Amino acid sequence: MLPTLDEAKGLEEVANNIPHEKIERMGWNIHVWVVDGGSSDETETVTKNNKFQFMPQQGKGKGAAMRLGFVKFLESGHDALVMLDSDGTYDPREIPKFLDKLSKFDVVVGDRLNGDINPDAMTRLNYFGNHILTWLATGLYGITINDLCSGYWGFTRKAISRLKLNSMKFEIEAEMYTSCVKEELEIKNIPIRYSSRIGQAKLGSVSDGWRIFRKLIVRRIFGTPIEAKIGKGNLDIE
């Protein structure tokens, strides 16, 4: 599952590197969804050219997009889901490593901070912020996560069906982690490569860092989003 907002060039690169044959040799049928936040570039054309499924999102933000994707995934009947950003930072050739670990774990998180970060891929501020937020998350919740804000995750169907989320933006990964802890899903961290992005960043380091921090605190106090408590699903967007 690939979230996109004006990432035509990055998406092209991701598409070229998805190891379809290797994944099929491992026994999986692969289906690629592009969850789009209203791109005004060639994203839809690139999606169609690669025979991926284009899924326009209803709300705004990466969080809303992923939650829509998760609901559609559960309706689809597939067994596992791997999500990664479409900006060329994450390498789709590592997907088989995620699928491999999903035979033993509920959730697999790609770990850039103990992996291989290209020198130009992350600003100093983001590097520092990622470490602080990750350290804080492990301290608050007691379950080790090595890279809280990673955009490369793998899930079993069971894991997706248990997640309870209401994030709209870039705090989604932090909430995925807190929900995994709450639902007692087993998390495996695996080192991954992280490269420089193609195109313009959508994340604002300080404002989104603050949203992530707030989400960690709020979910520590109120473990489950109110929408889930009153019986509404992950798709109830504000």
Ligand X SMILES: Nc1nc2c(ncn2[C@@H]2O[C@H](COP(=O)(O)OP(=O)(O)O)[C@@H](O)[C@H]2O)c(=O)[nH]1
Is 26:96 a contact under the CB 8 Å cutoff? Answer: yes
Q: Does 7 bind ligand X (CB under 6 A)?
A: yes
Q: What binding mask, one character per residue, do residues 162-181 give for ligand X by CB under 6 A, x or -? A: --------x-----------
Is 190:98 a contact under the CB 8 Å cutoff? Answer: yes
Count of residues binding ligand X (CB under 6 A)? Answer: 21
Q: What binding mask, one character per residue, do residues 50-69 give for ligand X by CB under 6 A, x or -? A: -------x--xxx--x----
Window contacting ligand X (CB under 6 A); options: 2-10, 20-28, 46-54, 222-230: 2-10
Q: Residue 148 and residue 172: Cα distance in Å, rounded?
A: 10
List the beta bridge partners of residue 132: none
Residue 98: phi and psi, rounded to 5, are -65, -45
Q: Does 86 bind ligand X (CB under 6 A)?
A: yes
Q: Residue 21 and residue 117: Cα distance in Å, rounded?
A: 27
Is 80:1 a contact under the CB 8 Å cutoff? Answer: no
Block residue for tokens 């936040």: 37
Q: Of the candidates 85, 111, 147, 171, which one interacts with ligand X according to CB under 6 A?
A: 85
Report which residue type is found at 32. Answer: V
Residue 5: name its binding partner from Mg ion, ligand X, none (Cβ under 5 to 8 Å by kind): ligand X
Query: In the complex, which residue's CB is closest to ligand X?
Result: 37
* 95-124: contacts with ligand X (CB under 6 A): none
Q: For Mg ion, give the closer residue by CB, 110 or 225.
A: 110
Is 90:191 a contact under the CB 8 Å cutoff? Answer: no
Which residues are at the interface with Mg ion (CB under 5 A)? 85, 87, 89, 197
Which residues are at the interface with ligand X (CB under 6 A)? 3-5, 7, 35-37, 57, 60-62, 65, 85-87, 151, 170, 197, 201-203
